[in-house]
């Protein structure tokens, strides 16, 4: 069995890279401490693979066929995608992938009732993966990466209960399906309060941010699931604050562990509250029964990329991979060739189509 050795949640505001030098010194200190601590603790945990849950900023899927979760299966993950480079203003990077673990997530979560999609080619990463990667030098650490981009924007999207349930199933996959002794780190990338491009573009809800950081570090997941609703997050920033659902997936996977919140900072040009949580995996405080989770609504996740319609049909074949037309035949399994990944780095979305695993 594999096991979780590290878990944290951090924001990925693009200004943390491109606008860092212009921030006030005290803000720089908090950002530097947050990401230096993340880099240090991650390396001290000695993981074989880092699984990052982060929102997709409408870059990798069409709105009408938007998957709730999209797993990156490429042998290498490179970024930032060309279109986002000027906006983020960070260096290029290439991180080794882990197709074996990615496929285990695709199949294992599908067997446990969670419809997942996957992409063989390099995904189009913006700040979601790029900012944590460059601020921790992940590409220079030797740790492999499995990115999972999730829908935090397009309704109907999975709420806090569905994301927590996905995290619990993820823990089962790690412990029951991965290779014995495999060391797994988890990172939730997103938040805190912000409203990208909206009428409150420069609004940061400091009261919400501090409330959330305290709650996330408390280990009280029953309260978290009661109070961290989609409506509450949207009130603190439409289209952005719901990125915290990535943290909820991680919390579902580790159980009700207490954590340590970092310092907190506000800087107008970051357009986002800045703070993080590092969870102590030795402090699980509540039984899973105490954190009541409503079952996920599968109808929200049954997107069919090739047909352009949501479906309620459930394919019962265990771990079935359904490629788009032109992909490998059913049952052949995903192709992991690096050629497709390299091609996508120089294109605007051309390449192998997404895969899906049906609930079991």
Return the closest-CA partner of residue 262 out of 35, 24, 55, 50.
35
Q: Is the pLDDT of residue 242 over 80?
A: no
Q: Is the pLDDT of residue 276 over 90?
A: yes
Distance from CA of residue 179 to its chain's centroid? 22
Q: In total, how many domains does the chain have?
A: 1
State the DSSP code for 122.
Answer: P
Q: Is the pLDDT of residue 236 over 60?
A: yes
Look at the alpha carbons of 175, 180, 181, 184 in this order and tell me if their dihedral is positive or negative. Answer: negative
Distance CA 7, CA 168 (A): 14
Q: What is the pLDDT of residue 125?
A: 84
With cut-offs at 50, 70 and 90, classify the pLDDT of residue 78: confident
CATH code, 191: 3.40.830.10
* Domain coverage including residue 205: 3-357
Q: Is the pLDDT of residue 341 over 70?
A: no
- Helix segments in 240-337, DSSP class H: 245-254, 298-301
pLDDT in tens, 39-69: 999 999 999 999 999 987 677 777 777 788 9
pLDDT in tens, 195-215: 877 678 667 899 999 999 999
CA atoms within 13 A on the CB side of 60: 34
- How many Cβ atoms sit within 10 Å of the Cβ of residue 121? 25
State the DSSP code for 321.
Answer: B
Pairing of strands 309-310, 303-304: antiparallel
Higher-pLDDT residue of 302 and 174 is: 174
Higher-pLDDT residue of 92 and 227 is: 227
pLDDT in tens, 146-194: 999 998 788 888 999 999 999 999 999 999 999 999 999 999 998 888 6
Higher-pLDDT residue of 233 and 16 is: 233
- Helix segments in the chain, DSSP class H: 15-18, 25-45, 85-88, 99-111, 127-136, 160-176, 206-218, 221-227, 230-235, 245-254, 298-301, 338-345
Q: What is the pLDDT of residue 333?
A: 36
- Determine if the peptide bond prior to 80 is cis (ω within 30°): yes
Q: Which of 12-16, 61-65, 172-176, 338-342 has the highest mean pLDDT?
A: 172-176
Q: What is the pLDDT of residue 243?
A: 83
Q: Which residues contact 140 (CB under 8 A, 6 or more apart)?
A: none
Q: Which two tokens stand for residue 95?
A: 């991180």
Q: Which helix (H) or strand (E) holds 281?
A: strand 277-284
Question: What are the beta bridge partners of residue 355?
Answer: 118
pTM above 0.75, yes or no: yes
Beta carbons of 4 and 186 less than 8 angstroms apart: yes
- CA distances to 149, 317, 339, 342 from 310, rounded to whole Å, are 19, 19, 31, 31
């Amino acid at each position: 069995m594999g096991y979780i050795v590290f878990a944290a949640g951090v924001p990925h505001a693009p200004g943390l890279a491109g606008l860092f030098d212009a921030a006030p010194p005290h803000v720089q200190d908090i950002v530097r401490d947050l990401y230096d601590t993340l880099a240090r603790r991650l390396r001290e945990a000695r993981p074989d693979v880092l699984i990052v849950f982060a929102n997709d900023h409408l870059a990798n899927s069409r709105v009408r066929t938007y998957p709730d979760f999209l797993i990156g299966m490429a042998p290498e993950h490179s970024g930032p995608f060309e279109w986002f480079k000027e906006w983020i203003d960070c260096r290029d990077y290439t991180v080794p992938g882990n197709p074996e673990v990615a496929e285990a997530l695709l199949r294992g979560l599908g067997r446990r009732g969670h419809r997942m999609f996957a992409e063989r080619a390099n995904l189009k990463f913006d700040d979601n993966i790029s900012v944590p990667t460059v601020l921790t030098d992940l590409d220079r650490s030797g740790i492999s990466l499995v990115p999972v981009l999730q829908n935090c924007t397009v309704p109907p999207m999975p709420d806090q209960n569905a994301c927590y349930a996905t995290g619990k199933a993820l823990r089962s996959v790690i412990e029951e399906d991965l290779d014995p002794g495999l060391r797994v780190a988890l990172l939730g990338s997103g938040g805190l309060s912000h409203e990208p491009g909206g009428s409150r573009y420069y609004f940061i809800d400091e009261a919400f941010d501090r409330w959330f950081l305290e709650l996330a570090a408390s280990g009280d997941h029953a309260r978290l699931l009661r109070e961290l609703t989609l409506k509450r997050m949207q009130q603190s920033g439409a289209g952005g604050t719901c990125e915290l659902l990535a943290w909820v997936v991680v919390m579902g996977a580790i159980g009700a562990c207490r954590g340590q919140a970092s310092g907190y900072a506000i800087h107008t040009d970051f357009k986002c509250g800045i703070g993080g949580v590092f969870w102590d995996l030795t402090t699980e405080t509540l039984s899973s029964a105490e954190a009541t989770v409503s079952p996920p609504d599968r109808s929200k996740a049954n997107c069919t990329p090739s047909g352009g319609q949501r479906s309620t049909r459930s394919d019962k074949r265990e771990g079935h991979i359904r490629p788009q037309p032109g992909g490998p035949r059913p049952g052949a399994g995903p192709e992991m060739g690096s050629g497709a990944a390299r091609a996508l780095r120089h294109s605007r979305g051309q390449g192998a189509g997404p895969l899906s695993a049906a609930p079991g």
